[in-house]
Structure 1
Amino acid sequence: MIKVGIVGMGIRGSLFAEAIRQNPFAEVVAVSDAFEQTLQRSVDQYQVRGYANVEDMFDKEEMDAVVIATPDFLHMKPVMLAAEKGVHIMVEKPFSTSVEEAEEMAAAVERSGVKCLVAFENRWNSPFVAVKEAVANGEIGKIITVNSRLNDTIYVPTQMLKWSKGSTPGWFLLPHATDIALWLKESKPVHVYAVGTKKKLVSMGLDTYDSIQAVVSFDDGTHATFTTSWILPETMPLIYDFKYEIIGENGALYVDLSDQMVRKAASSYQHVHTLGTPINGALTSAPSYMLNSFIDNIRLNTTPESNEAAGLLNTKLVHAIHRSVESGAVEYL
């Protein structure tokens, strides 16, 4: 049985704990969270040992793996501790919000020889899995351009996340969209030009961007556009709106994750969130498939689908986007 610890028991940490409970090859043995109430709730719910201090968990527990589900900007410390202890790592995206930290983390993982999966969950999301297969089969030819739009409702930065002022829609959302492009394309990003807007959230006391738009150029002369915001009205059918367009030499692919095939008109109109609907009690979401893949990487000694190198490249790209927003100039990776 693979013994797993979880750092950060918010929405994501709890989701991963449930996925581990359903995996026949793994078990949660300990959890860590800085908030006493969240920690105690998790200890009671999963009947495991809990630690307010993450160092104590690594010192006192025998763990084969750790799942790191802390806020965007707090991944480095647990990653470095895990690498030092020889504990396999699954860490939320972005790998880091700092290129320097990401490079140090990647180097530590490589030195230790542990397996590291960076949680780009859309690589396990069935619409994008189908897209990847179509591209790999050559059905649209060489990719010429990618256009992505990923937005959240204003509920996310103002209510769901306690730490949104320490992040941006660029760090919280863009890594999903940029990773898909990096996953699909054989070419590498070279430089970016981006702009950002600060108006709505600043007026509400949150000093962070409302939206960011970026054009990314690749080393094969192709380009991609990415737009993201987290100020959509709460009346949107779903909490997120994710649309993706891949245009190739011989065809195109279109993904719309907001249209999930079931539309309900009752007291209000909404799209029913069907992707990841549990079946016979079993979790079927992209995050749970990703978690199970990580457990399989450990027990079968295979390479994670999105490792520390993918995490580092994504951090370099999204960091360049933020630099361009600030400088108003083209920024190179």
Structure 2
Amino acid sequence: MKNWIGILLLLWISPAFAQEEVLRIGVAGLNHGHVGWVFEAHKRPDIEIVGIAEPNRALAERYVRAHGLSMDLIFESLEEMLEKTKPEAVTGFGTTFAHLEIVQQCAPRGVHVMVEKPLSVSLTHAREMATLAQKHQIHLLTNYETSWYATNEKAYELFKAGEIGEARKIVVRDGHRGPKKIGVGPDFLDWLTDPVLNGAGALMDFGCYGANLSTWLLDGKRPLSVTAITQQLNPADNPKVDDEATIILTYPSSQTIIEASWNWPIGRKDMEIYGLTGAIFSDNAKQLRVRVAKGYDGFEEEKMDLGARKAPFDDPFSVLKAVVRGKTKLASFDPYSLENNLIVMEILEAAKESANTGRTIFLEK
């Protein structure tokens, strides 16, 4: 009899437990090339897309058919989707310019938000988003692919453990052959190469990675100055925005160089940290090298092949769920964090000003 009671009790509580475990998310926009990630997450038992805000009916129908979903999920506006589906969190997969509106709509309703990098198109937008998030006590995360990399996590751990001494130079290189050359869809290409909807070109699209990683590695230090040079090396494909950007950040005892480009022949997301006694090379998502200096130009090198990061940091939607449910608290200046990404936007804003004026921009203390 006791066994039957236990089984009945388990059957009764299981649906409620399962419902509690599922994170109900809304999707704001479908014209971002990364949107496939959220549809893959929907296949998981713990993530459910409850609504999609997308005014472009043809675009919505294309994605719904491709992923075997119902058009009942599609809403003309974000406001309508929020009111009718009541998601716990919203993921932004539209233009970067639209990120502000997402927070304006979600924050007063207590709905948490995760956007694709960068946080916003401007520092003004970023600060308004932060004010709303703080006022209404929602989580506002920014997702970078490099936040999933076990190599970057390991590089951070080794650096903080003093394996190469105090940092003197950080070099971060990100990019590819350019949006048009790699074949991004027309809906993505239209706004990615628009200076208003994307904020700039390669400077915003890939400069944000280096600013984000530098801020994380240096415990949230703001640079003393920002100097940037941008070029338009492929005006036929990128007539309205830069496609080449080099950004130099100076700190009291180190320098960061960010090389963001839509002209790399081979796609890359790599990072180098140079300390007083050695260097760490995060070559990609899985391969890491550590060199310890020996003599003038000699070194001992250790190579590491790493797998995925441990859950929940192996996947952005797992991070979102863990943070929303209070199971994970982001560390100070974590790459996903709002405090980190406000500094990122300060750096990118200064970089745009520097590139436009030809001057080094000194940040206010």
How high is the TM-score relative to the length of structure 1? 0.84
> Which position in structure 1 is the counterpart of 2:223?
189
Pairing 1:316–2:346 present: yes
| Aligned with 1:222 (options 244, 254, 278) | 254
Correspondence for 1:294: 320
* Letter of the structure 2 residue corresponding to residue 255 of structure 1: S
User: What displacement does 1:155 show?
Assistant: 4.2
**Candidates 7, 15, 22, aligned match of 2:37:** 15
| Higher alpha-carbon deviation: 317-326 or 185-194 | 185-194
Q: Which runs of 5+ in 1 are unaligned?
A: 262-273, 278-282
Match of 1:54 in 2: 78
Alignment partners' CA distance in 2, 1:66 and 1:131: 31
Larger radius of gyration: 2
1:85-96 superposed matches below 5 A:
85-96=109-120
**Aligned match of 2:23:** 2
Preserved contact between residue 95 and residue 118 of structure 1 (Cα < 8 Å):
yes
In structure 2, the CA distance between the partners of 1:288 and 1:213, relative to structure 1 (3 Å rule), is: same
Question: Which stretches in structure 2 are left out of the alignment for 5+ residues?
Answer: 1-21, 195-199, 289-304
- Asked whether the 8 Å contact 1:192–1:216 carries over to 2, the reply is yes
In the alignment, which residue of structure 2 is the partner of 1:130?
A: 154
Counterpart Cα distance in 1 of 2:212 and 2:107: 24
Offset at 1:156? 4.5
Aligned to 1:162: 190
Q: Distance in 1 between matches of 2:286 and 2:326?
A: 36
Specify the code of the residue in structure 2 equivalent to 1:8: G
Letter in 1 for 2:89: A
> Does the 8 Å contact 1:116/1:308 carry over to 2?
yes
Identity of aligned residues (%): 22
Structure 2 equivalent of residue 206 of structure 1: 239
What per-residue deviation string (whole Å, max 9, x for no partner) do you get for residues 214-260 of structure 1? 11012x33211111110234xx4xxx123321011222101222997
**Contact 2:233 2:244 (8 Å CA) reproduced:** no
Q: Report the equivalent of 2:13.
A: none
TM-score for both structures, normalised by structure 2: 0.77
3-state SS of paired residue (2:98): coil
Aligned length: 308
2:281 aligned with 1:254: yes
Answer with 150-159 or 59-68: which moved more. 150-159
**Structure 1 residues 157 and 182, CA, compared in 2 at 3 Å: closer, same or farther?**
farther
Q: Which residue of 2 aligns with 1:268?
A: none
Matches within 5 A, 1:46-85: 46-47=69-70, 49-85=73-109
Over the aligned positions, Cα root-mean-square deviation in angstroms equals 2.7
Q: Distance in 1 between matches of 2:111 and 2:285?
A: 37
AA matched with 1:12 = H
Superimposed CA distance per residue, residues 167-191 of structure 1 (whole angstroms, 9 cap, x where no aligned partner) = 3101111111221111111332121
Distance 1:58 1:224, change over 3 A: same
1:285 is displaced (CA, Å) by 11
- Select the residue among 21, 28, 33 that pairs with 2:54: 33
CA 1:252–1:104: 2 relative to 1, 3 Å: same
Question: How far does the alpha carbon of each residue in 1:79-130 deviate from its partner, in whole angstroms, 9 at most, with x for none?
Answer: 2111111101111111111111110100100001111211133122111111
Where 1:163 maps in the other structure, the secondary structure is helix
The structural deviation recorded for 1:288 is: 6.1
Determine the C-alpha separation between the residues in 1 that align with 2:62 and 2:233: 37
Q: Which moved more, 1:115-124 or 1:172-181?
A: 115-124
